[in-house]
Structure 1
Amino acid sequence: MTIILASTSKARRALLANAGIAFEAVASPIDERAVEAPLLEAGVPPSEIAQALADAKALGVSVHSPGALVIGSDQVLDLDGERFVKPVDLADAGRQIARLAGRPHHLRSAVTLARDGVVLWRHLDTATLTMRPLDQAAIERYLAAAGDDILWSVGGYMLEGVGIQLFSAIEGDYFSILGLPLLPLLGALRDLDAISN
């Protein structure tokens, strides 16, 4: 069975590849901001936005990939009910980090499996991360060390790299923090006979 990851995210591709899953990566054709707009207007919480985006990505690719099992995933950073998106540049990343410094926030990570335009399975996981207090000089040192790769990461940090130094506490699943709730996903793929036990 063909498995398609509806994402070109380096982190998600690496997680699946490292787990020994044979898959193709295809960018989802959806406009994430267009999917979010009515949800934000309706006051939908960040967790539901993450799930809606994961669904839309999986469905958007599955309708063009007959018979394939498509994985859609998305992640929303929730700071006291406010949704963060990927920073547009390093200055924006610095502003996000300054807002998160010294405070806990939640990462809502959703994953969806779809085939032929039908959602077969979905899962939502939440991790809580507490960033240590940071002054502007510490933020600037971090940005210089991390570089443009953090622009792929909501919140402006990549936990699997130098971004780990920003945190004082983490509660939750590591894979979900990286953007793909891997253990539940592997269980669902086994249940659907897409991978062997």
Structure 2
Amino acid sequence: MTAHPPPHRPLILGSTSRYRRELLERLRIPFDTAAPGVDETPLPGEAPEALARRLALAKGHAVAARFPEALVIGSDQVADLDGQSLGKPGSHERAVEQLRAMSGRTVVFHTALAVVCGATGFVAEDVAPVRVRVRALSDVQIERYLRAEQPYDCAGSAKAEGLGIALLDAIDSDDPTALIGLPLIRTAALLRRGGLDVLNLIAETPR
């Protein structure tokens, strides 16, 4: 006989990113998505990690205000090159500039996470830093990569789950999905703190 998982609060991913949606689907729990509608413009003098944390919380709170009974996941990623924030390039020209600046350098990708519930007042946050060593890149290699991958919606133009992995010499992280956009180890941990244990929601199947 199949055991049914216990009921839980609705789960909402406060993001329109297909990368985050695909990552959260790995946990095999039902969820909806909602656009947070948050202005992502950095504040004057705002450090990259502080920007990522602020936006993750803002996204979580924005969606939780509309769906107070749900657990809401907010997340944001900012690439940090010597204290300078590198966000989504949005254009080919900006992506070229980013990759030229990152060539042969170490970049830290700060992937921030927040879980918010309006009804209970629960708020938890964390950040997963990923140190990435970028190989020395020629302009020809940068152009070939950008034309093939078109990673204009990825922080720092580095689509590591695709061809962007060929840009790198090394990755140092304790949460392996963080670089793609949602640190699943930390996500599962914050959801547990909010009352949702992923493993308790998986239905048992007969052997």
TM-score (norm 1): 0.91
Superposition deviation, residue 190 in structure 1: 2.5
Listed as ranges, the matches of 1:97-176 within 5 Å are 97-116=99-118, 118-147=121-150, 150-172=151-173, 173-176=175-178
* Alpha-carbon RMSD: 1.4
Aligned partner letter, 2:13: L
1:32 equivalenced with 2:40 (yes/no): yes
Larger Cα Rg: Structure 1 or Structure 2?
2
Q: Which AA in structure 1 matches 2:135?
A: R
The 4+ residue runs of structure 1 with deviation greater than 3 A are: none
Q: Aligned partners of 2:144, 2:62: CA distance in 1, in Å?
A: 39
Structure 1 alignment gaps of length 5 or more = none
The percent of aligned pairs where both chains have the same amino acid is 35
Q: Write out per-residue CA displacement over residues 52-80 of structure 1, whole angstroms, 9 at most, x where no aligned residue.
A: 00000000010010210000000111000
Q: Secondary structure at the match of 2:116?
A: strand
Q: Where does 1:59-98 land on structure 2 (aligned, <5 Å)?
A: 59-98=61-100
- SS for the counterpart of 1:92 is helix
- Aligned-residue offset at 1:196: 4.3
Unmatched tracts of structure 2, length 5 or more = 1-8, 200-207
Structure 2 distance, partners of 1:21, 1:183, is 15
Distance 1:119 1:162 in 2: 38
For normalisation by structure 2, the TM-score amounts to 0.87
Work out the CA distance in 2 between the residues paired with 1:113 and 1:137: 42
- Structure (1 or 2) with the greater helix fraction: 1
* Cα drift, residue 185 of structure 1: 1.2
Offset of 1:45 from its aligned partner?
2.0
In 2, the alpha carbon distance for the partners of 1:85 and 1:25 equals 22
From 168, 190, 193, the counterpart of 2:192 = 190
Q: How many residues were matched structurally?
A: 189
Following TM superposition, by how much is the alpha carbon of 1:195 offset from its aligned partner in structure 2, in angstroms?
Answer: 3.4
